[in-house]
């Protein structure tokens, strides 16, 4: 009889510990699951840091349970969830805060800032970077790129990929060369403003990857652009 009572009591304690741990783990996830507002669309969206934190927490909780004894599984789930959320949200948080800083610095420049996973995409229309058929950055672009350089020097754990694009006017070879020169002009400006060249990759893509139809002047204007894609260093 004593053994039965002890087993029942022990089982009750275990259930209580597991329930308490799950509640606390849920609290950790609730704190991590915050939304941000896209400054261009005005819509709420889950940040990359939150997504990473939730995935990390779930994985951490599972590992915590698997690596704990029966009596400590509830505690193991809590510890695993908390540590997993911290690790999982690390890269996402770093990129999210960098994107927010870039949004603040580039708000009035005409350069859009968007995120795709852990990548930050800066889209620079040709109208604010280069004159028609020109390869020299204008003053508006230089002021904006100076702000970009300031931010990426602060967040120096990211790679900087610069891509140049043109519309379909002219020959393929000419457009490819023009896009290369423009991408290099942007890269050179960043390097001249103390961004390490080892972080930068510069590529001309000519008339490939259009984002609008080349059949209209408006579409061609959109296709003439430089994109800077910031990605976390592995």
Ordered by where they begin, the domains of the chain are 2-97 (no CATH), 108-232 (3.30.1330.60)
Residue 92 CA to residue 51 CA, distance in Å, equals 8
pLDDT at site 73: 53
* Rounded Cα gap, residues 151 and 6, in angstroms: 62
Secondary structure class of 125 (helix, strand, coil): strand
pLDDT for 123: 96
For residue 227, the model assigns a pLDDT of: 97
- Taking the CA atoms of residue 72, residue 78, residue 81 and residue 84 in that order, the dihedral angle to the nearest 10 degrees is -70
Question: How far is residue 87's CA from residue 231's CA, in Å, rounded to a whole number?
Answer: 18
pLDDT value of position 25: 44
Beta-carbon contacts of 6 under 8 Å, excluding residues fewer than 6 positions away, are none
Tell me the H-state helices in 107-229. 139-154, 172-192, 217-223
CB 107 within 8 A of CB 100: no
pLDDT of residue 14: 46
Q: Are 166 and 134 contacting, i.e. CB atoms less than 8 angstroms apart?
A: no
Burial of 88 (0-12, 13-18, 19+ CB in 10 A): buried
pLDDT < 70 regions, the chain: 1-89
CA distances from 25 to 29, 64, 136, 230 (A): 6, 12, 55, 33
C-alpha distances out from residue 158 to 98, 126, 154, 165, Å: 10, 25, 10, 22
Q: What is the pLDDT of residue 26?
A: 47
pLDDT value of residue 24: 43
């Amino acid at each position: 009889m004593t053994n039965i009572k002890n087993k029942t009591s022990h089982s009750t304690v275990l259930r209580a510990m597991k329930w308490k741990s799950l509640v606390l783990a849920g609290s950790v996830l609730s704190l991590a699951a915050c939304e941000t507002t896209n400054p261009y669309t005005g819509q709420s969206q889950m940040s990359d840091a939150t997504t990473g934190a939730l995935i990390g927490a779930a994985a951490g909780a599972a590992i915590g349970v698997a690596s704990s004894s029966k009596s400590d599984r509830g505690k193991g789930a809590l510890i695993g969830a908390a540590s997993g959320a911290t690790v999982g949200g690390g890269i996402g948080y770093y990129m999210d805060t960098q994107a927010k800083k870039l949004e603040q610095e580039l708000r009035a420049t005409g350069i859009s800032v968007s995120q795709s996973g852990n990548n930050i995409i800066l889209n620079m229309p040709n109208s604010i970077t280069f004159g028609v058929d020109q390869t020299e950055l204008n003053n508006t672009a230089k002021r904006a790129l100076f702000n970009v350089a300031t931010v990426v020097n602060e967040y120096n754990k990211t790679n900087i990929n610069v891509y140049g694009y043109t519309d379909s006017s002219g020959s393929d070879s000419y457009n490819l060369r023009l896009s290369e020169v423009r991408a290099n002009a942007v890269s050179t400006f960043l390097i001249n403003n103390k961004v390490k060249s080892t972080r930068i990759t510069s590529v001309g893509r000519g008339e490939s990857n259009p984002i609008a139809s080349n059949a209209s002047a408006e579409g061609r204007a959109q296709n003439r652009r430089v994109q800077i894609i910031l990605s976390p260093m592995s």
